[in-house]
Amino acid sequence: CKVLTRAGKLIDAEICIYSATDPTGLRSLARTEFVWPSGNKTLLTYSDSDRLLINGSAATPVEMLDGYMCLSNRKTGNVFCYK
């Protein structure tokens, strides 16, 4: 996992553990969790209106970087990337 500033400056890059759950098949209850070595978590979910959220804030997919899938957190401006 990586976290970058809006300008592309690296904030953090570490191996994180990924898990996904979708117990009911309803997208609004699906969640993907990334656990960092520090124990912090990055959580991807969908709102009731089917909007993608990162840690509860609106997220926007951004261009992939070096094979990573990336999402911009609209609240913080940071970009979370994973592969």
The two structure tokens encoding residue 6:
């809006």
Q: What is the CA radius of gyration of the chain?
A: 13
Mean pLDDT of 31-59: 91
**pLDDT at position 81:** 95
pTM for the full predicted model: 0.86
Please determine, for residue 3, whether its predicted confidence score (pLDDT) is greater than 80.
Answer: yes
| Strand order across the beta sheet in which 52-54 lies | 10-13, 2-4, 79-82, 68-73, 57-65, 52-54, 41-46, 31-35, 17-21
46-70 mean pLDDT: 87
